[in-house]
């Protein structure tokens, strides 16, 4: 049996199991709280696993392993930023948000502001961030099929993306938050298991001697003439050739990674799926543990791929390195157990990677469709007059539409590194969402004008800087290779757009006289004590 057939069988088994879960969840999803927040009935541990499932995306698994395999140490920077970012979520956001919100990020902002403008801004920003993130996952799916199914033509990749997109629509439309959360939990367990297995095999091959593995990685994949450089920073980001701009770009990337997580809509809505703020805290603690261990595994996977597969072969498979982890699985399986072992491990890791992408796109689609329905439809268009039933119907329809948009964009954007694309989504989230969230939780004087200008200021500046960056035009790796309209030298906008988001929020606030002391008292007391927090729905 070829690895393609076996991979398909394993993947179809995952699809069958998750569809069964979705069907079961759809029968339990009756109210809006069920659809948006899984009835708030998940335990801290379950939600912690689901946080891991939502967060360990194609970017973490395929992207980081790929950057480490191609550029050594520089890929490690991503893992660290992605992990430390969780402390912002744990210390400043998770519990307070669980206490003061209901279904979406905008609930917290709209609490003491004029709801319509604030919800419009937050809804737009949620959908933009989620679509950026979705794009990255779809690119990962396209890169995988080439390797796993032997499909290399554009049409084949496009059909795969359509298939992935259709499945995710089914999960979200029918399963809602309950179904999506269980899909995340199953996926998190599979991904951790798969990554741990390959890591153990790789470490075992080197007698559990990390130094020997690193030495082999540098010797196989390091720059010719000076292989030792593979293990020190500067092969990819802020290379000496790029000069000062390159190094500032590195800081910009670092800022976006560490401040983005607490502004990601699909992560923020996870805090609503547990009964209390204490469970939200517990779920983040579990999430940090799972995600931290996972990134330690990807460190070994990346250097393992560099040592055993080699940079040249990986880059030939996918120029951005997105297929390094599955290629490593095949190589180590073959080294340890012969060709059959290689086939089985490739099929296993390939199926896990597909499951990963499928679960993350489902989480993203849920976040953006929830925001569309709850914020834009129910509160802006219908001025809060929509019934729960109407809201859930609209959420399902918009999940379908957003899924279709993601499929279309995913087909258009192939060939970028997945972790890199996700870093852009992080920059947009950190610029557009985080300033408004932190101000509304902690700044007494904050008001409607401040919230609206923080969101639009951060969002628009981040987007414009990306459009005029070397990512979009002016080079062989850009989205539009032949055009050149580069005005901004950095590939990540964070270092400019995140401070701009905070500055716009501050300016908008002090230029407007509006201030509601009673409402601030309410959100402060509620967020810290949990008074009046939404309760779990009994089933």
Partner 1 sequence: MTTREHDASVYEQVQESTEFQTLKRHFRRWTFPMTVAFLAWYLLYVVLSGWARGFMGIKLLGEINVGLVLGLLQFVSTFLIAWAYSRHAEKKLDPIADKLRHEVEEKTQ
Least distance in Å: CB of 193 to partner 1? 21
The stretch among 150-158, 167-175, 179-187, 248-256 that binds partner 1 (CB under 8 A) is 248-256
The stretch among 182-190, 304-312, 463-471, 525-533 that binds partner 1 (CB under 8 A) is 525-533
Contacts of 186 (CB under 8 A, 6+ apart): 14, 17, 18, 21, 53, 355, 359
- Candidate list 12, 204, 529, 535; residue touching partner 1; CB under 8 A: 529
**77 near partner 1, rule: CB under 8 A:** yes
**530 near partner 1, rule: CB under 8 A:** yes
**86 near partner 1, rule: CB under 8 A:** yes
Terminal Cα distance for the chain, rounded: 46
Q: Is the dihedral of CA 355, 8, 190, 221 positive or negative?
A: negative
Dump strand ranges (E) for 407-454: none
Least distance in Å: CB of 252 to partner 1? 10
Least distance in Å: CB of 59 to partner 1? 18
Compute the distance between CA of residue 42 and CA of residue 47 in angstroms, rounded to an integer: 6
Binding letters toward partner 1, positions 393-422, x by CB under 8 A:
------------------------------
What distance lies between CA 286 and its chain's CA centroid?
A: 17
- Candidate list 479, 528, 536, 537; residue touching partner 1; CB under 8 A: 528
- Under DSSP, is residue 137 helix (H, G, I), strand (E, B) or coil? helix
**83 near partner 1, rule: CB under 8 A:** yes
The stretch among 152-160, 230-238, 307-315, 339-347 that binds partner 1 (CB under 8 A) is 230-238
Nearer to partner 1, 157 or 282 (CB): 282
Contacts of 526 (CB under 8 A, 6+ apart): 99, 100, 532, 533
Contacts of 459 (CB under 8 A, 6+ apart): 124, 125, 128, 428, 431, 432, 501
**212 near partner 1, rule: CB under 8 A:** yes
**250 near partner 1, rule: CB under 8 A:** yes
Instruction: Name the token pair of 40.
Output: 């708030």
- Candidate list 196, 285, 409, 486; residue touching partner 1; CB under 8 A: 285
- Say if residues 502 and 450 touch (Cβ distance below 8 Å): no
- Candidate list 117, 233, 341, 470; residue touching partner 1; CB under 8 A: 233
CA dihedral 79, 80, 81, 85 (to 10 degrees): 110
Size of the site for partner 1 (CB under 8 A): 58
**254 near partner 1, rule: CB under 8 A:** yes
Least distance in Å: CB of 267 to partner 1? 16
The stretch among 19-27, 59-67, 279-287, 341-349 that binds partner 1 (CB under 8 A) is 279-287
Site for partner 1 in 490-519 (CB under 8 A): 517-519
- Candidate list 39, 48, 179, 215; residue touching partner 1; CB under 8 A: 215
**CA count, 13 A, side-chain hemisphere, 397:** 9
Nearer to partner 1, 89 or 131 (CB): 89
- Under DSSP, is residue 340 helix (H, G, I), strand (E, B) or coil? helix
DSSP-H helix ranges across 309-323 = 311-317
- Candidate list 204, 228, 338, 339; residue touching partner 1; CB under 8 A: 228
- Residue closest to 142 by CA, chosen among 132, 131, 153: 153
The stretch among 134-142, 146-154, 227-235, 315-323 that binds partner 1 (CB under 8 A) is 227-235
What distance lies between CA 64 and its chain's CA centroid?
A: 13
Q: Is the dihedral of CA 449, 452, 453, 454 positive or negative?
A: positive
Nearer to partner 1, 88 or 399 (CB): 88
Nearer to partner 1, 45 or 251 (CB): 251
Site for partner 1 in 95-134 (CB under 8 A): 95
Tell me phi and psi for residue 434, to 5 degrees.
-60, -45
- Under DSSP, is residue 56 helix (H, G, I), strand (E, B) or coil? coil
**210 near partner 1, rule: CB under 8 A:** yes
DSSP for 10-41, please give it. HHHHHHHHHHHHHHHHHHH--SHHHHHHGGG-
Chain residues binding partner 1 by CB under 8 A are: 73-74, 76-77, 80-81, 83-84, 86-88, 90-92, 95, 209-212, 214-215, 218, 228-229, 231-234, 238, 247, 250-251, 254-255, 258, 278, 281-282, 284-285, 288-289, 292, 295-296, 517-519, 521-522, 524-526, 528-532
């Amino acid at each position: 049996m070829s690895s393609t057939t076996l991979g398909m069988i394993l993947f179809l088994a995952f699809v069958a199991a998750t569809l069964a879960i979705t069907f079961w969840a759809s029968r339990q999803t009756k109210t809006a709280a069920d659809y948006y927040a899984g009835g708030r009935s998940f335990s801290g541990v379950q939600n912690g696993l689901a946080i891991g499932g939502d967060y360990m995306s194609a970017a973490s698994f395929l992207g980081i392993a790929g950057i480490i395999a191609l550029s050594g140490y520089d890929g490690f920077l991503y893992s660290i930023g992605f992990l430390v970012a969780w402390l912002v979520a744990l210390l400043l956001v998770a519990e307070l948000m669980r206490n003061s919100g209901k279904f979406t990020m905008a609930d917290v902002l709209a609490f003491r502001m004029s709801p319509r403008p604030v919800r419009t801004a937050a809804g737009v920003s949620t959908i933009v961030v989620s679509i950026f993130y979705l794009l990255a996952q779809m690119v990962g799916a396209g890169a995988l099929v080439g390797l796993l199914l032997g499909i290399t033509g554009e049409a084949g990749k496009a059909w795969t993306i359509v298939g992935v997109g259709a499945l995710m629509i089914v999960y979200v439309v029918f399963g809602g938050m309950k179904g999506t959360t269980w899909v995340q939990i199953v996926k998190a367990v599979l991904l951790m298991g798969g990554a741990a297995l390959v890591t153990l095999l790789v470490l075992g091959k080197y007698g559990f001697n990390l130094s020997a593995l690193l030495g082999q990685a540098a010797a196989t994949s390091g720059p010719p003439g000076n292989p030792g450089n593979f293990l020190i920073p500067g092969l990819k980001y802020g290379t000496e050739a790029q000069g000062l701009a390159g190094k500032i770009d590195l800081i910009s990337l670092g800022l976006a990674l560490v401040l983005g997580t607490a502004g990601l809509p699909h992560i923020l809505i996870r805090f609503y799926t547990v009964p209390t703020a204490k469970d939200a805290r517990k779920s983040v603690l579990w999430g940090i543990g799972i995600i931290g261990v996972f990134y330690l595994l990807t460190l070994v996977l990346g250097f393992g791929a560099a040592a055993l597969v080699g940079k040249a072969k990986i880059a030939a498979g996918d120029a951005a390195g997105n297929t390094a982890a599955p290629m490593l699985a095949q190589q180590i399986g073959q080294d340890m157990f012969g060709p059959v072992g290689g086939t089985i491990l490739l099929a296993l890791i390939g199926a896990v990677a597909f499951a990963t992408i499928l679960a993350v796109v489902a989480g993203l689609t849920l976040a953006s469709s929830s925001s569309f329905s709850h914020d834009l439809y129910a509160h802006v268009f219908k001025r809060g007059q929509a019934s729960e039933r109407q809201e859930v119907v609209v959420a399902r329809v918009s999940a379908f539409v957003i899924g279709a948009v993601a499929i279309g964009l995913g087909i258009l954007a192939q060939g970028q590194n997945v972790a890199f694309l996700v870093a852009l989504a992080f920059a947009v989230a950190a610029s557009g969402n985080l300033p408004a969230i932190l101000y509304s939780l902690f700044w007494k004087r904050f008001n409607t004008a401040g919230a609206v200008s923080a969101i639009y200021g951060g969002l628009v500046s981040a987007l414009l800087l990306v459009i005029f960056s070397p990512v979009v035009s002016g080079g062989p790796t850009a989205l539009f290779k032949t055009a050149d309209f580069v005005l901004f030298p950095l590939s990540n906008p964070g270092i400019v757009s995140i401070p701009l988001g905070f500055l716009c929020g501050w300016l908008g606030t002090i230029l407007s006289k509006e201030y509601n002391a009673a409402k601030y008292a309410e959100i402060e007391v509620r967020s810290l004590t949990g008074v009046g927090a939404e309760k779990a729905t009994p089933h």
